[in-house]
Amino acid sequence: MILGLDISTSITGITLLDNEGEVVYNLSVDTRKYKNFFEKADKIETELKYLWRATKLDLLPKRVFIEQSLQSFRSGFSSAKTLSTLSRFNGVVSWMVYKHWGIEPEYIAASSARKLAGVKITKDKKAKQCVIEHVLDNVPAVVIEYTKYGNPKAHCFDKADSWVVARAGWITCQKEKNLES
């Protein structure tokens, strides 16, 4: 079992894959209505605790992969304050994983995860759009909901991103198994 997390202070995606790489659990946790950092963290922990209780012993993740938080500035993107907050939040959720499952999370850059998961990024589209299109075409177990205007709802991008992280983690594990045998 592989757990993939796309952590954010607004919407966090959570995906659990079985040993064959199939989706067991895929959801998003919307924390936009919580203004306090710790309320947001508490909401994520509540959802993770639900997962911990809902999964039987044979469904517990063996490894956890988390999308690495941004490490540098890019013009027109996140400010230093945003990067710092995201990094702290990533650390808090990482601690929750370790505290409840005893698993030290492994971090993977978004671009590396997309490449491993087979998501092709084209120059004419944003990465998130390419990810959701890939998931729509290849992963029916990840349910994508739409607005009344026919666009994917915001939380669906995070569900798709968490699947990419989980899939990249699963592929990493498969490669390691092949090297061992």
Q: What is this structure's pTM?
A: 0.89
pLDDT at 80: 74
- pLDDT of amino acid 73: 45
Please state, in angstroms and rounded to a whole number, the distance separating the CA atoms of residues 176 and 181.
9
What integer pLDDT is reported at residue 173 of this predicted model? 92
Q: With beta carbons less than 8 A apart as the criterion, state whether 28 and 158 touch.
A: yes
- Longest CA span, the chain: 51
Tens-digit pLDDT string for the chain (181 aa):
899 999 998 999 999 999 999 999 899 999 999 989 999 999 999 988 887 776 655 667 889 999 987 554 444 455 777 778 888 999 999 999 998 888 999 999 999 999 999 999 988 999 989 999 999 999 999 999 999 999 999 999 999 999 999 999 999 999 988 877 6
pLDDT at 181: 67
**In terms of DSSP bridges, do strands 11-17 and 2-6 run parallel, antiparallel, or are they unpaired?**
antiparallel
Q: What is the pLDDT of residue 56?
A: 59
Query: So what's the pLDDT on residue 75?
Result: 47
Domains of the chain listed by start with CATH number = 2-180 (3.30.420.10)
34 burial via Cβ count (<10 Å: 0-12, 13-18, 19+): middle
Q: Are 28 and 13 spatial neighbours (Cβ–Cβ below 8 Å)?
A: yes
- The pLDDT, as a whole number, for residue 10 is 93
